Chain A
Amino acid sequence: MAEPVVTRAHGGGGREMHELIQDVFLAGLDDAGGGGSDDAARVEVPAGRLAVTTDSFVVQPWRFPGGNLGDLAVCGTVNDLAMVGARPLYLTAGFVLPEGLPLRDLEEIVERMADRAREAGVRIVAGDTKVVPFGDPVVNTAGIGALPEAPVISGSAARPGDAVVLTGDVGRHGIAVLSCREGIGFEAEIESDVAPLNGLVAALLASGAEVHVLRDPTRGGVAGALNEIASASSVEIVIDEARVPVAPAVRSACDLLGYDPLEVANEGCALALVAGRDAARALEALRAHPRGRRAAVVGEVREGPARVLARTGLGGTRLVDEPAGELLPRIC
């Protein structure tokens, strides 16, 4: 018997679609799903403000060392909520699937979504499926989270004197995905760092440290995220290259391909800009959390032109530019 695959009928609204919802989505999500079978889910929310975000995810290949598209779709949106200080509550999931995608693959994606939703303590309460003739599977997730009145955490809230804290080592996601891409392929003992960060952020906020900015350095890496912050807050950010944690294998892969680890994508670490006097307290709280063991203070914020500098060896300094588009392996 031929392997069951996604067909146009699965997006058609008839019996096949209902079977797909029942057998793949609801069964796969189990207790991580819910929301009922009406056209919209009804959910309880706490009093006060909400944070809302949406993101679409596509990655080549869809399965990579350390996770798959499903991990990204849940963690990415959970982390976007966490980065404004919100407590993630509910997600929705929209699937745009190419005809011919084995149902087994879809189940694998949904299984990871369920695991990650449980880990993050959110429920996926609404969903949608469309089938297209070709291409890579795409998952869109939207999320809402409960937003406390204070503190106001924003990319424009960095102040001179802030300490720049990284919650983990950098570059693992980008290198893990790249390691299995056509034409570049290498084997590495590197897994993506993809993970929900809401627990880690909650621990940081509970420490009482004055947090001004949170940002997860995804595409564009630490270099991209810091440039956004410097520009939004009109401050100069100076980091010490030697203090940025990089796993040895990630460093080796970057050497091999001519990459700067600061420009490589992450999916499971965050930049936290905290009041300088609270740096030690923030670090202690982060390191006590399983996702923050390698947290480090990597730099500071000061008055100056909106730019990012890195101290290199021998007292040299370089401008850390915003990465230009996609990362390309260099031979020169």
Chain B
Amino acid sequence: MCVAVPGEIVRVENDGTAEVDFGGVRRVVSTALVPEVRPGDFVIVHAGFALHRVDPDEARQTQELFRQVLDELPS
């Protein structure tokens, strides 16, 4: 239902915004809804706001989940 795009924090400003790189496209987004982001963090952005900070462990969880679905589900 919503266009939400992941990007990497390039620079954190002191006014509650940060510059985010979306694969070669940069835009200033609000970080008001994701406290404590640092350069190098990946965030998911919707309508100009970062809404989620991606934890690298969560990406690994996805790998495990998919593997599990392939290997364990009864057919």
Contacts and interface: CB of A to CB of B under 8 A. Distances in A.
**Do A and B have CB atoms closer than 8 angstroms in the complex?**
yes
Interface of A: 179, 185-190, 247-249, 251-253, 255-258, 330-332
B2 interface: yes
B54 interface: no
B50 to A, nearest CB: 13
A331 B47 contact: yes
A255 B2 contact: no
A188 B25 contact: yes
B3 A252 contact: no
B3 A249 contact: no
B1 A255 contact: no
B32 interface: no
Contact of A252 (B1, B2, B22): B22
Given A331-B46, A331-B47, A188 B5 contact: no
Interface residues of B, number: 13
Contact of A249 (B24, B27, B46): B24
B5 to A, nearest CB: 5
Contact of B26 (A187, A248, A251, A258): A187
A332 B47 CA distance: 9
B2 A256 contact: no
Interface of B: 1-3, 5, 22-27, 45-47
Nearest to B24: A249
Contacts of B26: 186-188
B24 A189 contact: yes
Given A331-B3, A331-B46, A332-B3, A256 B27 contact: yes
Q: Which 5 A-B pairs have the closest CB atoms?
A: A249-B24, A252-B23, A186-B27, A187-B26, A258-B3
Given A252-B24, A252-B25, 18 more contacts: A185-B27, A186-B26, A187-B25, A187-B27, A188-B25, A190-B25, A248-B23, A248-B24, A249-B24, A252-B5, A255-B3, A256-B5, A256-B22, A258-B3, A330-B3, A331-B47, A332-B1, A332-B2
A247 B24 CA distance: 10
A331 B2 CA distance: 6
Output the residue of B24, B26, B47 with the most chain A CB within 10 A: B24
Nearest to A253: B25
A187 B22 CA distance: 10
30 contacts: A179-B25, A185-B27, A186-B25, A186-B26, A187-B26, A187-B27, A188-B24, A188-B25, A188-B26, A189-B25, A190-B24, A247-B24, A248-B23, A251-B23, A252-B5, A252-B22, A252-B23, A252-B24, A252-B25, A253-B22, A255-B3, A255-B22, A256-B3, A256-B22, A257-B3, A330-B3, A331-B2, A331-B46, A331-B47, A332-B1
